[in-house]
Structure 1
Amino acid sequence: MEWTNEQLIETARVVAKYEGEKAAQLLNELATRFDCALAATRTACAQRDALAAENAGMKSKLMFWDAESPEAPYDTPEEIAEAWALNYNEEIEVQVAARLPNRVYRVCESWDQQCKLELVDGVDVQTPATDAFLAEVRAQGVEMVTYRLKQFIDDGDFVGDEVPLIAGCIDVAADMAAQIRQGAAL
């Protein structure tokens, strides 16, 4: 008989009711951790699938040119190699661009040799899964600094007036990590 993950978790919790206190605690703890690990795995798989879909979408918009003769685009580099009848181990330089609609921008601010533009017509490429993934990585980086500062306080590395200041920085960093995540969700 092959059991599902959910059946294993539920069985461990049922068996825990009939075991001694220590064994019951252990079984319940294992079931809880397995359940959490399963949820985290499902979330990671969903994120992976979303990133893969975005990646495939972006790759499907690519077009290629022979760098030496860029008159017409090709759908794949293989088409260029076939058109030039290349032999084994020969190399060809290929230029790559994305097939995206043209965009119209307007200069909304200008100073010295710099400009700020706004999109007037067309669409920017949207990559919400990638944006969310990168926001999570950034937020985790901020949290790593927060964790390290907490360790310094716990270890007594800061003294006197420094402790409240560092504790305030920890609070600001925790808020910043939450804002980074929230910004990606908008």
Structure 2
Amino acid sequence: MPLNETHLETVLGWRNLPHIRENMHSTDEISWQQHLSWFETLKNNAGKQFFVFMQNQRPIGILNFTLIGAIKNSNELTAPCIEWGCYIGEDNVWPGSGLLLEIAALDYAFISKNAATLYAEVLSSNQSVLKMHKLFQYEALEDRIDEKPEKKDGTTVTVKRFLYQQKQWLTKREKVLSMLPKQIGAAAQHIHFVD
């Protein structure tokens, strides 16, 4: 379901959770006014889409997509691609919910939007997402170091970068799903996006 005004209070709470903030480029707490400004910017940007991920008619997280330019890969530029990100803000969720978000992102980009390439950035400290990207067989790109670290302790941030090609997902989708627990594969059949 697309992010709308009714979700704003819940989403702000998620964005300010310590385990969410520590995996973002900025770890600063977000004020209500900053959150509203962010939402207004989203509403006016056709290149960005934010969805609320629902389970049992309950919002549990965010899945977002941004149309970006070409990405340099092995000294070649890819076609323009979609960058994606996600987080789960609730604790009481189905086991494997992160896997479902990963499947949803790949299916949305490649099946619903017919994108050629999906791009993702993950902080090197976010080991669970790095393991998921490896399981789903993302192509790793050269790491990037944030030049202007926004961490309060002033540490440098290593950003792991990944690509996934449409033809790869369409070819490997069933094989990847077969490696997951059966209940995840079954739940993946019920993922759909409401515009």
**Higher Cα radius of gyration:** 1
**Which one scores higher on RCO, CA 8 angstroms, separation ≥ 6?**
2
Q: Same fold (TM over 0.5)?
A: no
Q: Determine which structure has the larger helix proportion and give its number.
A: 1
| Higher share of residues assigned strand | 2
